Chain A
Amino acid sequence: METFSSTATARAADPVRAKPVRNVAIPGWLYSLALPLVLIGAWQLATGGRSYSLIPPPSTVVLTAWDYAFGGIRNDTYSGTFAANAMASVTRVFGGFLVAMLIAIPLGLILGRNKLARRLIDPTLQFLRPIPVTAWLPLTMILFGLGPPATIALIALGTFFPMLLNTVDGVRLVEPRLVEAAEMLGTPKAAIFARVILPAASPSIFTGIRIGLGLAWVLVVVGEMTGVPTGLGANIMDARQLSRTDLVISGMIYIGILGFLSDRVVMLIGRRALWWNPNARN
Chain B
Amino acid sequence: MLATEIESAIATQRLDKTYLSQSRDGTLTETHALSDINLTVAPGEFLCIIGASGCGKSTLLRIIAGFETLSSGKLTVMGKTPAGPGPDRGMVFQDYALFPWLSVAQNIAYGPRQAGLPKAQVAELTERYLDLVGLQKFRNRYPHELSGGMKQRVAIARVLANDPAVILMDEPFGALDAITRSGLQESLLEIWEKARKTILFITHSVDEAVYLGDRVVVLSPHPGRLKLEIPVGLARPRDIASVEFNQLKRVLLDAIAPDIAVEAAALS
Contacts and interface: CB of A to CB of B under 8 A. Distances in A.
A187 B65 contact: no
Contacts, number: 70
A186 B158 CA distance: 12
B142 interface: yes
B100 A184 contact: no
Interface residues of B, number: 29
B162 interface: yes
Contact of A183 (B84, B102, B158): B84
B66 interface: yes
B85 A180 contact: yes
Given A185-B158, A186-B162, A175 B97 contact: yes
A180 B67 contact: yes
Interface in B122-173: 142-144, 158-159, 162
B114 A181 contact: no
Interface stretch (B35-43, B86-94, B203-211): B86-94
Given A186-B87, A187-B114, A276-B142, A181 B93 contact: yes
Interface string B87-125: 101110101011111110000001100110000000000
A188 B113 CA distance: 11
A180 B97 contact: yes
A83 B90 CA distance: 60
B60 to A, nearest CB: 16
Contacts of A275: 142
B111 A185 contact: yes
A166 to B, nearest CB: 17
Given A188-B114, A200-B101, A278-B144, A177 B93 contact: yes
Contact of A184 (B90, B98, B144): B90
Interface string A166-189: 000000000101101111111110
A277 B87 contact: no
9 shortest interchain CB distances as A-B pairs? A186-B87, A181-B97, A186-B114, A183-B85, A185-B111, A177-B97, A276-B142, A199-B101, A184-B85
Interface of B: 65-67, 84-87, 89-91, 93, 95, 97-103, 110-111, 114-115, 142-144, 158-159, 162
